[in-house]
Amino acid sequence: MSNFWDKPHKELEARLGKRIVFYSVDEDMNDVAIEGTVQVTMPHDGYWGEGKDYISPVVVNPTWLQLAVFANEGINVTGDKHHVFFENVRCVGIELITGVQTYRFIMGS
């Protein structure tokens, strides 16, 4: 018997193979998460692992699934295997010339 939380994880595994991220957002994965041109960041914290800051590619109208894939990439780049629950994103700035919005992942443990 499957439950509500199985579906996003099966979709992520189908897209990523072995995944690290857990989808904890209370939104349909196929819905647009952010309207407009966006990049998402995940800062590195040396306490949680060896790595570097992650900055996603610039995308337009990303879905929650796309953001979950970026979150998985961010976990690998930052080396933070403790905060693997993708919970949300928050806007941290807008580039005035290009209009690219920058969001930061909200990750839980």
1 falls within a domain: no
Q: Is 12 exposed, middle or buried (0-12, 13-18, 19+ CB in 10 A)?
A: buried
19 falls within a domain: yes
38 falls within a domain: yes
pLDDT in tens, 17-72: 777 888 888 888 889 999 999 999 999 999 999 999 999 999 999 999 999 999 99
Structure tokens given for 32 = 């647009």
35 falls within a domain: yes
Judge whether residue 79 has pLDDT over 80. yes
68 falls within a domain: yes
pTM of the model: 0.87
Instruction: Assess contact for 37 and 58: CB atoms under 8 A.
Output: yes
56 falls within a domain: yes
Q: Give the domain range for residue 23.
A: 6-108
Domain tally, the chain: 1
